[in-house]
């Protein structure tokens, strides 16, 4: 059986205040007793709180950006470049989230170019993709995901630094999560796609995580599926429930892989 280290990301989106970020970092994240050699934890505060969160969190909880610009640093008012994220000493960014794609016009091509920039500057990337409700109802989920992966692949110069986040748009923030079977079906297809289009080794090694209404109530069932290697959590990552999700994932990891995986 594959021995991939589980991965849990908390995407705080455009939420929070200095007070709530402090509370989350100190009371929820720093207080968990899980063994971080088994579950990798990365949280993504809004840009404005990145440095603050980094200063508060234990070193084994990584801090990620949620986006980066397509351009470098320079005369690009309002943009945050990969160079700025690197300069803060951070190692991660989320890219291609459906909110970026749908609300800010990020096409497959833009996402792929951003992924390339981030990787070229040494960042690791949580690359998001997934079908919308109409696409699922039309039965073209796997085609849509394959198209998004084909495009992402053009930008990926180092698969070791990529976590793939399958996030069906209809499940994001709706309270309707994919069932464990629905998630497993798409994750297995993603692994097959990796095997066919990249390599068997990359297919075996790459973490494929699920996002969309993950809570402390459904995390255990979702993580029990073979090809679900963790989560990208939105709303629940802003609450004490996030610690439960981390602990549930850690317990499943211990059941599945009794030894550290790295
Ligand atoms: O990046 C996280 C996803 O958008 C999931 O958000 P959610 O857990 O609030 O549904």
Question: pLDDT, tens digit, for every residue of 106-157?
Answer: 999 999 999 999 999 999 999 999 999 999 999 999 999 999 999 999 999 9
- Classify each residue of 141-155 as buried b or exposed e, where b means 16 or more C-beta atoms within 10 Å of its C-beta: bbebbbebbebbbeb
Q: Looking at the predicted structure, is the pLDDT value of residue 49 above 50?
A: yes
CATH number where 86 lies: 3.20.20.70
Report the C-alpha gap between 71 and 234 in whole angstroms: 27
Report yes or no on 190 lying in a domain. Answer: yes
Atom of ligand 1 nearest to the CA of 215: 8
CA of 219 from ligand 1 middle (Å) equals: 13
> Quick one: pLDDT band at residue 252, thresholds 50, 70, 90?
confident
74: which 2 tokens?
Answer: 């320079």
DSSP state of 206: -
Q: Looking at the predicted structure, is the pLDDT value of residue 31 above 90?
A: no
CA of 211 from ligand 1 middle (Å) equals: 6
Phi, psi torsion values for 143, nearest 5 degrees:
-65, -45
pLDDT of residue 257: 76
The answer to whether residues 144 and 135 touch, using CB atoms and an 8 Å cutoff, is: yes
Report yes or no on 20 lying in a domain. Answer: yes
Report yes or no on 96 lying in a domain. Answer: yes
% residues pLDDT > 90 (the chain): 91
Complex ipTM value: 0.99
Judge whether 84 counts as a catalytic residue.
no
pTM, whole model, 2 decimals? 0.96
Atom of ligand 1 nearest to the CA of 11: 1
Range of the domain at 33: 6-256
pLDDT of residue 256: 80
Report yes or no on 1 lying in a domain. Answer: no
Q: Looking at the predicted structure, is the pLDDT value of residue 19 above 70?
A: yes
Report the C-alpha gap between 250 and 81 in whole angstroms: 34
Report yes or no on 261 lying in a domain. Answer: no
Judge whether 97 counts as a catalytic residue.
yes
Report yes or no on 262 lying in a domain. Answer: no
Q: Tell me how many domains the chain contains.
A: 1
Report the C-alpha gap between 143 and 141 in whole angstroms: 6
Shortest-distance Cα residue to atom 7 of ligand 1: 234
Q: What is the largest CA-CA distance in the chain?
A: 52
Pocket of ligand 1 (CB under 6 A): 11, 97, 167, 172-173, 211-214, 232-236
With tokens 């989920």, the residue in question is: 141
Report yes or no on 172 lying in a domain. Answer: yes
Atom of ligand 1 nearest to the CA of 177: 10
Report yes or no on 182 lying in a domain. Answer: yes
Q: Which of 235, 237, 182 is nearest to 210 (CA)?
A: 182
- Between 180-197 and 141-155, two packed helices, what is the crossing angle to 10 degrees? 40
| E strand residue ranges, 139-190 | 162-166
């Amino acid at each position: 059986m594959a021995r991939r280290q589980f991965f849990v990301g908390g995407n705080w989106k455009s939420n929070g205040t200095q007070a709530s970020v402090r509370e989350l970092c100190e009371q929820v994240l720093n207080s968990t007793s899980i063994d971080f050699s088994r579950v990798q934890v990365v949280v993504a505060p809004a840009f404005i709180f990145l440095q603050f969160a980094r200063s508060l969190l234990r070193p084994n909880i990584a801090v990620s950006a949620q986006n980066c610009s397509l351009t470098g640093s320079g005369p690009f008012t309002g943009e945050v470049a990969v160079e700025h994220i690197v300069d803060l000493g951070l190692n991660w960014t989320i890219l291609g989230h459906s909110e970026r794609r749908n609300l800010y016009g990020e096409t497959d091509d833009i996402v792929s170019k951003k992924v390339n920039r981030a990787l070229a500057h040494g960042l690791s990337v949580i690359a998001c993709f997934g079908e919308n409700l109409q696409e699922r109802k039309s039965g073209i989920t796997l085609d849509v995901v394959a198209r998004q992966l084909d495009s992402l692949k053009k930008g990926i110069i180092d698969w070791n630094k990529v976590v793939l986040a399958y996030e069906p748009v209809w499940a994001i923030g709706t309270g309707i999560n994919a069932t464990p079977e629905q998630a497993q079906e798409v994750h297995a297809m993603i692994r097959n796609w990796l095997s066919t289009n990249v390599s068997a080794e990359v297919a075996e090694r790459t973490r494929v995580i699920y996002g969309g209404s993950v809570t402390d109530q459904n995390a255990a069932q979702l993580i029990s599926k073979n090809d679900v290697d963790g989560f990208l959590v939105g709303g629940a990552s802003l609450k004490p429930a996030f610690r439960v999700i981390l602990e549930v994932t850690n317990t499943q990891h211990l059941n599945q892989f009794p030894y550290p995986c790295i």
